[in-house]
């Protein structure tokens, strides 16, 4: 009944707006801007490029998408990726064991079935114990834009994206030569050094960066106190090179990423029951990520463009629990190597000014090589697995824009997987944008989407056996299927300086993949349960009256249910709030920001115990950046942040009766130097404008006195 009332109200409001004469047209991006963006990037503030599929706008998109720009990231002193994502309605980041470097899973609308891509290439770990996005090894320094796509868009997004997707674009060089140097330090042994160069030279653009980050962390538990072997360090390199061809109608681009991380395992990985060993420095994990992305794009003419892309993602994850004085005969080691290869091509046809058709193909091969060795003094056990899957996708997608008022998008993807068979995943979405009834400068958008999606089990879930942990493989796992829909209304006032957004979403899963434990033998494995259901509401408010002030607030209510137990799905809170304020009292001189994220309690893990819950989280932060001086293109900044501002005891994870807490109030300070002649020109121009304005005021004042 509530759903019918909501839809009826939206239809009545839509009819009222349609009855009103459309006196002003929607002001969308020009075709020339879009043609340039689809080949050379450089999307404007409201432009989106969902998984490199089709240039669109957040204003008229029929899909629910949030976008974070480079400006948003820099104004928050380049926070963690999790801090940025949780500012989007419906997004929650769960961190195992409560500290940096531990597994951080992203959930959109209550599920961790989220596809993570970087420049269109899947970046979720091939060696992961469960599908979905893990972001603990990613840094925002090298990110140009982040798009959060919500809901099952199985045609556009492909498999393993029933909750949605996160697409990130790597920074690329533009304009004359620039460089950046940064150094940060903070409490809990935090230390960060970074250097980057970027720019353009004729037809070549380049971006090269290297970053070293370390922290000793400050995680605590309810019964063990401070965990000292909780350090994390990461060294990573990013290179983005592009070259224009065919009179600037095409480009070839290569993007390379490398990350080498080490994490101290103060508690976890097999030693949860060995209390004397919980701070053992011999317990650690190593993770190496290598991503290679080679693409070619060509706009043949105004009617046709195409792209070809080859991607490689290799992950090496190793966990060590080595012999020591406490347990000289104990050893537990796992080594997991995984590789994913992608080949993709897409062809876009501009059939008319209002109809754009996309046809694409995707080849995806996944391979895992896993080895585990355990000896707890009762005899050694060794287990090895090697396996792979091959998947072929073809899809067609059509986007229609009628007079910048009515937007329709839809298509279907055919999937053939050698392990799980054949699937069709159709989806469709629509939006109507109209002037608000008799309110100048206001617009109303009604949007809705429906889609299906498929989530494939990981190779680890199907084939990994770890008898020492009482965990066993399940080669009979089936793919998980989802049917979902959403509907929403977006209202803007004052020429989009005020934006309101409210929506409802509903997702029904079949063959839901869940972690199960036998109550008699305590043997664990991943298994299919019959059904699961997720639904909820999202609301967002944005107030941006000028270039000096911006306020963003969101709220999400999420209800989840495992139909086999009647309990909530794990790690999905019912209520989530976030708010962020940007304030620049002196333009290009002094920035301030403040952020708040709160969540209600949630189930800690699977199983049948309804009391296995953790309390909600209140996480606030505040920071500032000050430009001390600029000289001939050199700009020197100081920045500072206070994290967990209210000194909360935020529980992020629970194992049995042990609760894990993230660090309490902590700080970081840093210096930042950049060489940017473009910025210097802009500052000089602004200074000249201010001087002219001041001169005009003085002349006007003299005239008034006369």
Mean pLDDT across the chain: 85
The yes-or-no verdict on residue 433 having pLDDT over 50 is yes
- Reply yes or no on whether the pLDDT at 326 is more than 70: no
527 versus 693: the higher-pLDDT residue is 527
Torsion on CA atoms 92, 93, 98, 103, rounded to nearest 10: 150
What residue spans of 221-298 are helical by DSSP H? Answer: none
In a domain, 691, yes or no: no
The reported pTM is: 0.89
- Would you say residue 472 has pLDDT above 70? yes
Tell me: pLDDT of 423 over 70: yes
Lowest mean pLDDT among 250-259, 262-271, 388-397: 262-271
pLDDT at 271 over 60: no
- Least confident piece of the model among 194-198, 378-382, 497-501, 563-567: 378-382
Average pLDDT on 677-691 reads 76
* pLDDT value of residue 691: 79
Residue 696 lies in a domain: no
pLDDT-derived band of residue 530, with 50, 70 and 90 as boundaries? confident
> Above 80 in pLDDT, residue 53?
no
CATH code of the domain in which 496 resides: 2.40.170.20
Which residues constitute the domain of residue 176?
2-675
DSSP string, 392-405: EEEEEEEEEEETTT
Q: Is the CB of residue 84 less than 8 Å from the CB of residue 76?
A: yes
Structural domain includes residue 488: yes
* Over residues 469-498, mean pLDDT: 90
Amino acid 50: pLDDT: 66
700 within a domain of the structure (yes/no): no
pLDDT of residue 353: 87
684 in a structural domain: no
Question: Is residue 325 predicted with pLDDT exceeding 80?
Answer: no
**pLDDT above 80 (res 604):** yes
3-state secondary structure 593-649: EEEEEEECCEECCCCCCCCCEECCEEEEEEEEEEEEEEECCEEEEEEEEEECCCCCC
Q: Tell me, yes or no, whether 686 lies in a domain.
A: no
Model pLDDT, residue 706: 67
Of the chain, the percentage scoring pLDDT greater than 90 comes to: 49
pLDDT tens-place string over residues 152-191: 877 788 888 888 889 999 999 988 999 999 999 999 899 9
- Average pLDDT (331-346) is 91
* φ, ψ at 305 (rounded to 5°): -140, 160
Reported as a single tens digit per residue, the pLDDT across 210-219 is 999 999 877 8
Q: What is the structure's pLDDT at 278?
A: 67
* 73-99 pLDDT tens trace: 999 998 899 999 999 998 999 887 777
Q: How far apart are CA 117 and CA 109, in angstroms?
A: 18
Find, among 663, 627, 682, 660, the residue nearest to 74 by Cα.
627
**Does pLDDT of 302 surpass 70?**
yes
Average the pLDDT over 526-539 and give the result. 92
Q: Is the pLDDT of residue 413 over 80?
A: yes
pLDDT digits (tens, 9 = 90+) for 453-463: 999 998 888 88
Domain count along the chain: 1
d(CA 562, CA 569): 6
> CA nearest 554: which of 145, 92, 153?
92
359: confidence class by pLDDT, cuts 50, 70, 90: very high
Q: Which of 103, 130, 112, 221 is nearest to 656 (CA)?
A: 221
Q: Write the pLDDT tens digit of every residue in 378-394.
A: 777 888 888 999 999 99
User: Which of the pair, 624 or 220, is modelled with greater confidence?
Assistant: 624
Radius of gyration in angstroms for the set of CA atoms belonging to the chain, rounded to a whole number: 26
At residue 224, does pLDDT exceed 90?
no
Is residue 516 predicted with pLDDT exceeding 70? Answer: yes
Q: Between the ranges 270-274, 384-388, 700-704, where is the mean pLDDT highest?
A: 384-388
Q: Rounded distance, CA 667 to CA 675, Å? A: 27
Domain assignment present for 705: no
Report if residue 701 sits inside a domain. Answer: no
For 91-138, the pLDDT digits (tens) are 999 887 777 888 888 999 999 889 999 998 999 888 777 777 889 899
Q: Would you call 318 helix, strand, or coil by DSSP?
A: strand
Highest mean pLDDT (candidates 135-139, 148-152, 385-389, 621-625): 621-625
Report the pLDDT value the prediction gives residue 619, as an integer from 0 to 100: 93
Q: Which of 129-138, 284-293, 669-678 has the lowest mean pLDDT?
A: 129-138
Local confidence band at 54 (pLDDT 50, 70, 90 cut-offs): low
Q: Is the pLDDT of residue 8 over 50?
A: no
Reported for 374-382, long-range contacts at CB under 8 A and 24+ positions apart, including other chains, are 374/270, 374/331, 374/332, 374/333, 374/466, 374/467, 374/468, 375/329, 375/330, 375/331, 375/332, 376/330, 376/332, 376/468, 377/327, 377/329, 377/330, 381/467, 381/468
Which tens digit of pLDDT belongs to each residue from 537-587?
Answer: 999 999 999 889 999 999 999 999 988 888 898 889 999 999 999 999 887
């Amino acid at each position: 009944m509530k759903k019918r009332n909501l839809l009826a109200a939206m239809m009545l409001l839509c009819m009222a707006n349609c009855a009103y004469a459309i006196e002003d047209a929607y002001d969308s991006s020009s075709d020339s801007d879009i043609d340039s963006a689809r080949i050379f990037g450089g999307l404007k503030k409201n432009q989106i490029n969902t998984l490199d599929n089709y240039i669109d706008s957040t204003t008229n998109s029929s899909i629910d998408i949030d976008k974070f720009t480079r400006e948003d990231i820099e104004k928050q002193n380049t926070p963690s990726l999790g801090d940025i994502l949780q500012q989007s309605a419906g997004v929650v980041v769960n961190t195992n064991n409560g500290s940096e470097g531990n597994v951080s899973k992203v959930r959109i609308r209550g599920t961790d079935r989220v596809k993570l891509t970087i420049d269109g290439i899947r970046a979720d770990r091939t060696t992961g114990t469960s599908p979905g996005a893990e972001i603990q090894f990613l840094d925002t320094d090298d990110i140009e834009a982040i798009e959060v796509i919500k809901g099952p868009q199985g045609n556009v997004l492909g498999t393993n994206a029933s909750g949605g997707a996160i697409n990130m674009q790597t920074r690329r060089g533009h304009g004359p030569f620039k460089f950046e140097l940064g150094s940060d330090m903070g409490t809990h042994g935090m230390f960060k050094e970074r250097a980057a160069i970027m720019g353009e030279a004729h037809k070549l653009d380049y971006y090269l960066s290297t970053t070293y980050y370390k922290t000793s962390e400050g995680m605590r538990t309810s019964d063990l106190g401070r965990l000292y072997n909780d350090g994390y360090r990461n060294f990573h390199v990013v290179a983005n090179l592009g070259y224009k061809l065919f009179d600037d109608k095409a480009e070839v681009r290569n993007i390379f990423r490398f990350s080498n991380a080490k994490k101290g395992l103060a508690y976890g990985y097999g030693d949860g029951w060995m209390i004397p060993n919980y701070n053992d420095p011999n317990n650690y994990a190593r993770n190496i990520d290598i991503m290679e992305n080679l693409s070619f794009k060509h706009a043949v003419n105004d009617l046709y463009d195409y792209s070809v892309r080859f991607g490689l993602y290799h992950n090496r994850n190793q966990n060590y629990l080595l012999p020591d004085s406490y347990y000289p005969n104990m050893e537990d080691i796992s080594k997991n190597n995984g590789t994913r290869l992608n080949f993709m091509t897409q062809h876009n046809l501009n059939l008319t000014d209002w109809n754009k058709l996309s046809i694409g193909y995707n080849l995806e091969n996944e391979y895992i090589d896993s080895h585990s060795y355990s000896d707890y003094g009762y005899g050694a056990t060794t287990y090895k697995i090697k396996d792979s899957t091959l998947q072929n996708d073809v899809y067609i997608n059509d986007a229609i824009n009628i007079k910048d008022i009515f937007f329709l998008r839809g298509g279907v993807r055919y999937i053939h997987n050698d392990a799980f068979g054949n699937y069709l995943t159709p989806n469709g979405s629509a939006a109507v944008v109209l002037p608000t009834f008799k309110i100048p400068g206001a617009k109303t958008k009604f949007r809705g989407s429906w889609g299906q999606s498929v989530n494939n089990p990981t190779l680890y879930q199907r084939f990994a056996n770890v008898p020492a942990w009482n965990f066993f493989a399940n080669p009979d796992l089936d793919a998980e299927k989802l049917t979902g829909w959403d509907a929403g209304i977006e209202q803007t006032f004052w020429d989009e300086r005020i934006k309101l957004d409210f929506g409802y979403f509903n997702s029904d899963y079949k063959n839901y993949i869940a972690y199960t434990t036998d109550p008699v033998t305590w043997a664990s494995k991943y298994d299919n349960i019959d059904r699961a259901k997720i639904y909820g509401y999202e609301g967002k408010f944005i107030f941006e009256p000028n270039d000096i002030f911006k306020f963003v607030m969101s709220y999400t209510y999420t209800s989840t249910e495992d139909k086999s137990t009647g309990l909530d799905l794990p790690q999905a809170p019912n209520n989530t709030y976030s708010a962020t304020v940007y304030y620049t009292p002196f333009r290009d001189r002094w920035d301030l920001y403040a952020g708040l994220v709160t969540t209600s309690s949630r189930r800690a893990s699977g199983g049948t115990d309804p009391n296995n819950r953790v309390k909600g989280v209140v996480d606030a932060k505040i920071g500032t950046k000050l430009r001390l001086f600029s000289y001939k293109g050199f700009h020197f900044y100081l920045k500072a942040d206070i994290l967990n501002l209210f000194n909360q005891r935020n529980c992020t994870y629970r194992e049995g009766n042990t609760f894990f807490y993230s660090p309490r109030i902590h700080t970081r300070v840093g210096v930042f130097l950049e060489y940017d002649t473009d910025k210097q020109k802009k500052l000089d121009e602004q200074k000249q404008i201010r001087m002219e304005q001041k001169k005009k005021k003085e002349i006007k004042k003299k005239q008034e006195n006369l």
